[in-house]
Amino acid sequence: MADTILAKGAQAPDFELSCTPDQRLRLHDLKGKRVILAFYPADWSPVCSDQMALYNESRKLFQQHNAEVIGISVDSKWCHLAFEQDRHLHFPLLADFEPKGAISRLYGVYNEQEGQSKRALFVIDEEGLIRWSYLSPDGINPGADGILEALEEMDNVHEEK
């Protein structure tokens, strides 16, 4: 188990988590796309609500870089479903619910004291390598600038090849 956030260049650990009450999503299923993993403490909290709303509004920008955003917290699939519907989110929220925080731990972003995910971002390339990671203070919305800069940097490297 990782005890520090996974860094640039590391292989993103594969996982399978519930994205709806009757569907599961595997990271491996998104191979060939860039993936933005947004770990966050809890549905319904003010900062998390603002952060997920921003990513919802930024989806078209992310998709221009062949990237999909995925939110992950320890909340249940039912809690995520209610949160997605209430906030009109159009990207999956994955339930790192049972065993609680297992995937957050794999990525080095589980807060043992609080029993929830830390606020962290990962940009993963088409081959499953982490190209950018960021651990944000829990009470601070990290925004989308770092994600977009990482995606643009990946585009520039791709164009140079």
User: Would you call 48 a catalytic residue per the annotation?
Assistant: yes
Which is catalytic among the residues 5, 6, 27, 48? 48
Contact in structure between 123 and 150 (CB atoms under 8 Å): yes
Q: Half-sphere exposure (CA, 13 Å, Cβ side) for 23?
A: 8
Ordered alpha helix ranges (H), the chain: 46-57, 59-63, 77-87, 102-106, 145-160
Contact in structure between 54 and 87 (CB atoms under 8 Å): no
Catalytic residues: 48
